[in-house]
A = this chain, B = another copy of it.
């Protein structure tokens, strides 16, 4: 129990640093944030930061991975898997938008320039985790006969990349000002991809607004 408490405190201090860093990175950007800033915001000493992270860059990566995991978690909603596949694309998109809206400020962390190969691996892992979850959802649909077989992994990858970038554009670049628009057309595009009809043949949905 003593062990546990220590571990808890340890965890909470690490989290405090991450929270402080997140706040500051969002407010001032990475370069403009100093370790001293982070320590002050987290109410700890400068040196303490280095007990939990090896470098400033390490703190950054921690923040970024944190966010990516948060998004991955939104796909793990057990309700999602019990839906008929016709409702899944919309549900997925809804999930991404919800998480992104709630953490709008953090979205810019989805686009990191990854200098070190170690960092790249961390991000790649995170990306693969999400991709795998998506692919699994598609695979189940195929097995249930709701979809024709296709290269689930690659489609998951592409959709994942698209999602990342749409969130970035919608929330980080445009501050969510056109969220509804992005949401609706993202849903439409994904649904069309899975269920058709194609843009050439379909006559109904796609006509109004600017």
Hey, which bits of chain A sit against chain B, CB under 8 A?
A: 29-32, 108, 111-113, 115-116, 120, 123-124, 127, 146-151, 153-155, 157-158, 161-162, 164-166, 168-169, 172-173, 181-182, 185-186, 189, 192-203, 205-207, 209-210
Contacts and interface: CB of A to CB of B under 8 A. Distances in A.
A198 B196 contact: yes
A186 B192 CA distance: 15
Given A108-B113, A166-B161, A185-B154, A148 B193 contact: no
Contact of A198 (B161, B172, B192): B192
B200 A194 contact: yes
A145 to B, nearest CB: 10
Nearest to A29: B115
A148 B206 contact: yes
A202 B142 CA distance: 12
Given A158-B166, A173-B123, A151 B209 contact: yes
Contact of A199 (B123, B181, B193, B201): B193
A166 B162 CA distance: 8
Given A169-B157, A173-B123, A192-B193, A30 B201 contact: no
